[in-house]
Amino acid sequence: MPPPLTRRRFLSATGLAALTAAGTPPALPAQPAHRPVAIASGNGLKAVTRAMELLQQGADALDAVIAGVNLLEDDPADQSVGYGGLPNEEGVVELDASVMHGPTGRGGAVAALQNIRYASRVARRVLERTDHVLLVGAGALKFARAHGFREENLLTDEAREAWLRWKETLSNLDDWLPPHELDTRDIGQGLKEALRHYGTINCNAVDVRGGVSGCTTTSGLAFKIPGRVGDSPILGAGLWVDNDVGAAGSTGRGEANLLACSSVMIVEWMRQGRAPTDACLQACRRIAAQTKMKRLLDAEGRPKFNVSFYALTKAGAHGGASLWGGMKYAVNTGEGESRLVDLAHLY
């Protein structure tokens, strides 16, 4: 990571150094080189508010998005992220997260991380303090320990009770599939339910220097098979940033997005001139076309699950789309309060 943004660095980066009268701290530029913008998934209103506070103080976009998602990682009421996240099928919370820093073209990620609530900060540490991009499981935990992250039990009573209810009513709600021929598309309609709890927060931002960064962090699919990794920590799938173009990220059924690598595609479509919402809709169409297993489709051939995408350009245009309607994303453009905006949708 570049060093933190000191006042001197900020002045130099924004060209204000020359305007500084001795001993007089200058105000932030009335018209910064880039208009800061932060967007997030629909659970991220407070995340974009926090991110914007930092962006307006001249923070790097990576610092801003991580500080934003930390609020959700801390929140036991959000059962899709960090502390209080729903556990795997053995009752253990396993977290996935990724970060990307556009100005330096770097990324970091962790998967199946146990006992550390700030998966996003560990992902950032991978970016900053290793020559790797992705650490998983026991290795990720050891790395976090080495960097002084505090271990704790992430399972709240509410999440444990939800897990117990799931265990006590085990029926068609697990992820194990019976043996079947490779080319079969029907293992028994309704035998396995596709609708499950996928949470996650994705947050992307542009800072006043035009730096674009993003973060996606999650406890993943509720009651998953231990070791299951979704799209969130996979760069290109759950998050992608290109400092010349913008950023994209996702929430929803990670398995579908892992088979489409949508975030990198959305950024490439934006590079070709598509608006963020258009590019996100195209990703939804790809996922719909890619879904061929009968248990995942409704009577009209539409995916039974949802996936949502959020995209932001370097110039500050933003948008998003999901397969199914009724979803929103959070945005703060630095003018007024954070707000929720409807996602475009296929169905």
Interface with ligand GLY (CB under 6 A), residue total: 12
- The alpha carbon torsion through 146, 150, 220, 83 (nearest 10 deg) reads -170
Nearer to ligand GLY, 128 or 175 (CB): 175
Q: Where does this chain touch ligand GLY (CB under 6 A) — which range of 139-147, 230-238, 276-284, 336-344? A: 230-238
**Active-site entry in 200, 217, 277, 313:** 200
Token pair of 196, please?
Answer: 């499950």
Q: H helices within the chain, ranges in order?
A: 7-13, 45-56, 61-73, 119-129, 137-146, 157-168, 254-258, 262-271, 276-290
Q: Which residues pair with 294 in a beta bridge?
A: none
Query: How far is Cα 265 from Cα 25, in angstroms, rounded to an integer?
Result: 43
Query: How far is Cα 264 from Cα 286, in angstroms, rounded to an integer?
Result: 13
- Interaction of residue 220 with ligand GLY, rule CB under 6 A: yes
Q: Which residues pair with 213 in a beta bridge?
A: 101, 205
Nearer to ligand GLY, 198 or 269 (CB): 198
The pattern of x and - marking residues 145 through 184 that bind ligand GLY according to CB under 6 A reads ----------------------------------------
Q: Where does this chain touch ligand GLY (CB under 6 A) — which range of 143-151, 169-177, 216-224, 287-295? A: 216-224
Cβ atoms of 186 and 295 within 8 Å: the answer is: yes
> Quick one: which H or E segment has residue 212?
strand 212-218
- Interaction of residue 200 with ligand GLY, rule CB under 6 A: yes
Nearer to ligand GLY, 63 or 231 (CB): 231
Closest distance to ligand GLY from the beta carbon of 253 (Å): 6
Q: Where does this chain touch ligand GLY (CB under 6 A) — which range of 148-156, 164-172, 225-233, 280-288? A: 225-233
- Distances in Å between the Cα of 140 and the Cα atoms of 108, 167, 214, 238 are 11, 28, 20, 19
- Interaction of residue 88 with ligand GLY, rule CB under 6 A: no
- Interaction of residue 221 with ligand GLY, rule CB under 6 A: yes
- Interaction of residue 231 with ligand GLY, rule CB under 6 A: yes
The answer for residues whose C-beta is within 8 angstroms of residue 344's C-beta and 6 or more apart is 277, 280, 281, 319, 320, 321, 322
- Identify residues 242-271 at the interface with ligand GLY (CB under 6 A): 251-254
Cβ atoms of 260 and 304 within 8 Å: the answer is: no
For tokens 């028994």, the residue is 188
Closest distance to ligand GLY from the beta carbon of 113 (Å): 13
Nearer to ligand GLY, 232 or 277 (CB): 232
Phi/psi of residue 268, each to 5°?
-65, -40
Nearer to ligand GLY, 210 or 254 (CB): 254
- Identify residues 284-343 at the interface with ligand GLY (CB under 6 A): none
Query: How far is Cα 5 from Cα 36, in angstroms, rounded to an integer?
Result: 15
- Interaction of residue 230 with ligand GLY, rule CB under 6 A: yes
Interface pick for ligand GLY out of 198, 240, 309, 310 (rule CB under 6 A) = 198
Cβ atoms of 240 and 248 within 8 Å: the answer is: yes
Query: How far is Cα 109 from Cα 227, in angstroms, rounded to an integer?
Result: 15
Nearer to ligand GLY, 211 or 230 (CB): 230
Nearer to ligand GLY, 90 or 186 (CB): 90
**200 is a catalytic site residue:** yes
Q: List the catalytic residues.
A: 200
Binding stretches for ligand GLY (CB under 6 A) = 198, 200, 218, 220-221, 230-232, 251-254
